[in-house]
Amino acid sequence: MGKKKSKQKKVLPYEIGELDQYLFGQGTHYEIYQKMGAHKAVRNGKSGVYFAVWAPHARRVAVVGEFNDWDFEADYMERQEPVGIYTCFVPEAKEGDLYKYCIETKQGKRIFKADPFANYAELRPGTASRITDIHNLKWTDQLWMEGRKTWDNKKSPMSIYEVHPGSWMRHPGREDEGFYTYREFAKAITKYVKEMGYTHVELMGIAEHPFDGSWGYQVTGYYAPTSRYGTPEDFAYMINYLHRNKIGVILDWVPAHFPRDVHGLADFDGTPTFEYADPKKGEHPDWGTKIFDYGKPEVQNFLIANALFWIEHYHVDGLRVDAVASMLYLDYGKQDGQWTANKYGGNENLEAIAFFKHLNSVVLGRNHGCVMIAEESTAWPKVTGTPEEDGLGFSLKWNMGWMHDFTEYMKLDPLFRKNAHHMMTFAMSYAYSENYILVLSHDEVVHLKCSMINKMPGEGFDKFANLKAGYAFMMGHPGKKLLFMGQEFGQLREWSEERELDWFLLSELPHQQLQAWYRDLLHLYKKNRAMYELDTDPEGFEWINANDGFRSIFSFVRHSKDGKKNLLFVCNFTPVERPDYCVGVPRRKQYKLILNSDDIKYGGKGEVRPEIYKAVKKECDGRKYSFAYPLPAYGVAVFEF
């Protein structure tokens, strides 16, 4: 007689089974967050909570919380092999209870850790996790989600408003910090974004973090929307509300590093668990943070599942991946002797490269119409190239080179701009090497760099006129657009997370006029296909005159795909009027003035100008045809033809 088959233990739907452990150990359990953490469950007819945590080098693990008076001997967890996941079912635990894991290290020391997979956390300065149920969120954004599947960022407008929710707007005079809840913020930001004409918001500081001054870039709760602004249900309401109003949502996401806070991921089970064990690979000397170990399948799984968690569970439309360069280079921010070379002797982090290819393939492969955006500050090749062609697989890349050249040029006294003319044209020499977003982000208006308006030379009118010309050039240049909050109306002070924007400035005319200018630029961008549909195609852009350095004037054309509605931009970056200005044009057509910075509503003189200009056969800018237009000081004119 044959041997009896051994009975396999029946695994309940919420429990960690052998397959879960296998996939997690391979780095491919993309829904691991449905099993790990704290989940409401029923066992033998009793309601309770099932806990699961990865602590491979722990001697013992217990779950402690309000349900057992924080007694570390009350609820020890069972170790599941082979990957070292600890689990237990606690019938006394209920939704809303605070909890932590008490981990006994190999040395016998007890450490108390927040749950890496927690979906909700205690409001700082508290550091405990909170049991919550996010399985029954109410979604009413089906139309948006269906349309997202066929959305193509390469052919669509994308103008992003970068926002820190806690300091965008606050309730005045409240005894607490006055934060808007997610629900309040949803309604206020939607109204503003629709009026202005942005297509997306990019939200900073959403994943739970202990220190406000980190702006959310030192995360302890990767799976928890911060409790500063409300509950997970409130967060889902915000996404829903924005989607129903046709506004896309991008989150900042930080897979590069995490803080040393004792309740967080650092030395999680008493050993380097989530980080590299070698301090030369596992620590950022400048930032004082830990670096994820991208060579561990479980760590890769933690991060990739987290990206999918935000996009699939919370319906987020994309992630802006922070500090990509710090992940790609082993010597990033390090001196000689502070870093370890790869197996070939180079400074590339081969494991991080493989991680990005895996991450982007899975996220974008499963979620058509979503975007993965790299904040990558070097000339690393093929950041937006496909993994099949040895690219990293991102959808878009922040154009930090353009941003640097643009801001340095704009800071110059107009008298000296003629010697730096190339700084505004150079980006076109590499504009099609990646799929770019032009960014003027929060990083440019902190740490004594000045707000955008105070980067501008001159006083009063000159500052505002300079910035209006700069914004028009940015909007006309190929690439998606991003502007940090407050810069659209000329915030004077540098940004601080400790206060709301200086909305009171909008009682003053120059700030109203700048806001109106940027609003009308955004609507022009969104309304005209020539501004975006050939962003990644050289056919979409044509210089008329890139070499008028002496007068610091730039003229160029944005072409639509069908050639029916093209736009001619003329931007004057000096305070010198050009009453006899002549511009060469591609065709002998009529040119309709559709945007004029000299309009009185934008702070101009309001001189009456004709709407239609007819090109004549007169050579200018190396073209057969041209027309004359009186170009004001710092004047911008946009013509449709």
What positions carry a catalytic annotation? 322, 375
3-state secondary structure of 223: strand
- The whole-angstrom separation of Cα 154 and Cα 147 is 15
- The whole-angstrom separation of Cα 79 and Cα 20 is 14
3-state secondary structure of 41: strand
Kindly give the interhelix angle for 400-411 and 461-476, rounded to the nearest 10 degrees.
Answer: 150
The residue type at 59: R
- The whole-angstrom separation of Cα 243 and Cα 138 is 13
Which secondary structure element, helix H or strand E, spans residue 324, and what is its range?
helix 324-328
- The whole-angstrom separation of Cα 635 and Cα 549 is 16
Q: Name the pairing type of β-strands 480-484 and 541-545.
A: unpaired
- The whole-angstrom separation of Cα 326 and Cα 533 is 32
Q: Which tokens in the block code for residue 486?
A: 């407050």
- The whole-angstrom separation of Cα 625 and Cα 617 is 5
Q: Name the pairing type of β-strands 159-163 and 480-484.
A: parallel
Q: Which tokens in the block code for residue 451?
A: 């707000």
Overall residue count recorded for the chain in this entry = 641
- Check: CB of residue 154 under 8 Å from CB of residue 536: yes
- The whole-angstrom separation of Cα 557 and Cα 566 is 7
Q: Which tokens in the block code for residue 238?
A: 């915000």
Q: Which residues of 318-347 are buried (b: 16+ CB within 10 A; e: fewer)?
A: bbbbbbbbbbbbbbbebeeeebeeeeeeee
Give the chain's count of helices (H) and strands (E): 14, 30
Q: Name the pairing type of β-strands 436-440 and 396-398.
A: parallel
**238: DSSP letter:** H
Closest CA to 553 of 629, 641, 464, 490: 629
C-alpha neighbours within 13 Å on the C-beta side of residue 275: 25
- The whole-angstrom separation of Cα 243 and Cα 249 is 8
- The whole-angstrom separation of Cα 573 and Cα 511 is 20
- The whole-angstrom separation of Cα 387 and Cα 392 is 6
Kindly give the interhelix angle for 509-527 and 461-476, rounded to the nearest 10 degrees.
Answer: 10
For every residue of 452-486, DSSP letters joined together read HHHHSSSSTHHHHHHHHHHHHHHHHSSSEEEEETT
- Residue 205 makes CB contacts below 8 A (sequence gap 6+) with 164, 165, 166, 215, 216, 217, 226, 252, 497
